[in-house]
Amino acid sequence: MITTLIYSLTGLILFGMGFFTLIIHSHPLRKILAVNVMSTGVFLILVATAYIPLGEGEIDPVPHAMVLTGIVVSVSVTALALILACRIQETSNSSLPGRKQQGEVPEESIR
């Protein structure tokens, strides 16, 4: 029980951190990283809910299968998003927001 609680709360914190970063930062790669951290948090909550300590019974395999599916889908989504980000950067002709000048804070925030 305590294990489930620890891991689900961690998943929640990861989700919150990812969500905050997703909105605050403007570099596309960091946004995609944040989405990945968010999805990891969700998977963590899902698997932690299904956890049963060793010797107290079998584990429900359905959430595991769902998380497995989710990981593969999130990898393909990440790949597509990265290509899109590259294309946007190539065609928009502007430099990256994270590309910094000397002594300047790199990440501008969006309002």
Partner 1 sequence: MSYFIFTIFDIVLVLSMVWIAWHLLGTEDIFKAVVLFISFGLLMALAWVRMRAPDVALAEAALGAGLTGPLFLSALRRMNRPRKGDRRLDSDEKR
Partner 2 sequence: MSRTGKNHKRLDGFQRLLLLFVICMVVLLGYIIWSTPGSKPVLTGAVAQMQEYSGVESPVTAVLLNFRGYDTLLEVMVLLLAVIGTWSLTEAFFPVQRSEISPVQMGAVRLLAPVMCLVAAYLVWQGSHLAGGAFQGGAILGAAGVLMLVTELPALRTIPVLPLRIGLVFGPLFFAGIALICLLFTGDLLGYPKGAGGWLILLIETACAISIGLTLALLFAGGRPDKEFIWKNNP
Helices (H), 50-95: 61-92
Please, which of residues 26-85 interact with partner 2 by CB under 8 A? 45, 49-50, 52, 57-62, 64-66, 68-69, 71-73, 75-77, 79-80, 82-84
Q: Cα 36–98–21 angle (5° rounding)?
A: 35
Of residues 68, 70, 3, the one with CA closest to residue 38:
70
Of residues 15, 5, 6, 68, the one with CA closest to residue 42:
15
- As a whole number of angstroms, the distance between CA 42 and CA 85 comes to 24
60 touches, from partner 2, partner 1, none (C-beta below 5 to 8 Å by class)? partner 2
43 touches, from partner 1, partner 2, none (C-beta below 5 to 8 Å by class)? partner 1
Name the residues that contact partner 2, by CB under 8 A: 1, 4-5, 8-9, 12-13, 15-16, 19-20, 23-24, 45, 49-50, 52, 57-62, 64-66, 68-69, 71-73, 75-77, 79-80, 82-84, 86-87, 105, 109, 111
